[in-house]
A and B are shown apart, each in its own frame.
Chain A
């Protein structure tokens, strides 16, 4: 058995105490996010795992199977911490303060043998640096997951299909229309056409900042799909600058009904469905007097 494994096994208690002290004395410790007992439990688990992993003599390859439990514990901790809102510094300090704790014990034990101390220090350093890399990797992964989930949520909420009148649907598109968005927009729209039996859909692009040929292509595809379902599509919200840009780009939208505003698109939809909106005079048949 090598020195580190021995050290870890014989001084487990001491190292844990040191480590806990290091963590608790750190002013940036977020005791609002994690309780002391929880912290102690996690730390204990990690030291146990580490002492088991080093027992085989492997101290430089953390990708070996015996390190799997350690890496797993660490990943678990960093992902949980990322979700709980710890900063990268706080997450990184967790492993790095363990290094400090082990080094203190090493120094106590080998203060008379500088050569051994030096060698062991290097090994401990290497091992824990690698482990802190794992923490960072998984911390970022945890954050990435949060971002991905939010992207999904934004995509979901930003594509509502509104039934504005009997047989008329409106779909305000806000933000950039990329392939993934188009897919969601198209699915929602086609499903809603089936559900409501609508015959006219208004796609409002007032909230789309730039219409380039890719966006136009996606719009044309959506219109074609709607037509295949037997419904008619009107594109509204074409601003003056976008109209000019589309012409210069050379995109042909001439066989698609387009309008400048949602109001005029709605009016067109009404006339297509032979609906008339009239102002009624409130005063007719109403007479006050003696």
Chain B
């Protein structure tokens, strides 16, 4: 896998969500991703970024355009230094939320993108990595 472009964005306030989403949209258009796949990735990214703001008071996102077997894609890494997730298994279940939300953010994001990876340790923070390929496969 080759990383073509790399960029970092700090997310600290609610107002950062819209510019971040626009940035992801820009990257998607640049590699020629279809509208459906764009929307899927942007929605997943939006979920994860909101989680970061809500539970960890923000963090940073690494945005990368990647290429593998002549297939372009986008990798987003969400890094925060929040309280971490005690039980990842539970957090990935539909309808589970420690906040007052629908509890669909993490499992929904996983269903929306091609590759999803989450690492977390209590007290140290959470890192979520998602990859979405141009053709959505």
A residues near B (Cβ < 8 Å) are 176, 178, 209-214, 216-217, 240-242, 244-245, 248-251
C-alpha gap A212/B38 in the complex (Å): 13
Residues in chain B within 8 A of chain A (CB atoms): 14, 17-18, 21, 35-36, 38-40, 42-43, 46-47, 50, 94, 101-102, 104-105, 107-109, 111-112
Interface core residue of A240, A241, A244 (most chain B CB under 10 Å): A241
Could you tell me the distance between the alpha carbons of A213 and B49 in the complex, rounded to whole angstroms? 12
Bound Cα distance A245, B42 (Å): 10
Interface SS majority for chain B: helix
Assess the A214–B107 pair: CB atoms within 8 A.
Answer: no
Bound complex: CA A214 to CA B99 (Å): 12
CB pair A213–B102 under 8 Å, yes or no, is yes
Residues of the B chain whose Cβ atoms lie less than 8 Å from the Cβ of A176: 17-18
Q: Give the 5 A-B CB pairs with smallest separation, nearest first.
A: A249-B108, A241-B39, A212-B46, A213-B104, A241-B36
Shortest distance between the CB of B64 and any CB in chain A (Å)? 21
Known: A241-B38, A248-B112, A250-B94. Is A212-B101 also a contact (CB below 8 A)?
Answer: no
Q: A210-B39, A240-B36, A244-B40 known; A250 and B104 CB under 8 Å?
A: yes
**With A217-B101, A245-B112, A248-B111 as given contacts, are A212 and B36 in contact (CB-CB < 8 Å)?**
no
A167-B41 Cα distance, complex, nearest whole Å:
39
Q: Note all chain A residues with C-beta closer than 8 A to B17.
A: 176
B104 contacts which of A241, A242, A249 (Cβ < 8 Å)?
A249
CA distance A249 to B18 in the complex (A): 19
Q: Once the chains are docked, how many angstroms separate the CA of A213 from the CA of B47?
A: 7
**Chain A residues whose C-beta falls within 8 Å of the C-beta of B94 in the assembled complex:** 250
Contact assessment for B36 and A248 in the assembled complex, using a CB-CB cutoff below 8 Å: no
Nearest CB in chain A: distance from B124 CB, A: 26
> Which residues of chain A come closer than 8 Å to B21, judged between CB atoms?
209-210
- For the complex, what is the distance from the CA of A139 to the CA of B18, rounded to whole Å? 26
Q: Which residues of B contact A251 (CB under 8 A)?
A: 102, 104, 108
Residues in B neighbouring A248, C-beta threshold 8 A: 40, 108, 111-112
Bound-state CA distance A241–B34 (Å) is: 10
A-B contact pairs, 13 of them (CB 8 A): A176-B17, A210-B39, A210-B43, A212-B46, A212-B47, A241-B38, A244-B36, A245-B112, A248-B40, A249-B47, A249-B109, A249-B111, A249-B112
Which residues on A sit within 8 Å (CB–CB) of B42?
Answer: 210
Contact of A242 among B39, B47, B105, B111 (CB under 8 A): B39
B39 touches A245 (CB 8 A): yes
> Which of chain A's residues has its CB closest to B94's CB?
A250
Which residues on the A side are within 8 Å of B43 (C-beta)?
A: 210-212, 245, 249
C-alpha spacing A209/B39, complex, angstroms: 9
Q: In the bound complex, do residue A210 and residue B102 qualify as a contact, i.e. CB atoms below 8 Å apart?
A: no
Which residue among A213, A217, A248 has the maximum number of chain B CB atoms within 10 Å of its CB? A213
Apart from A178-B14, A248-B112, 5 more pairs, CB < 8 Å: A212-B43, A241-B35, A241-B38, A249-B109, A250-B111
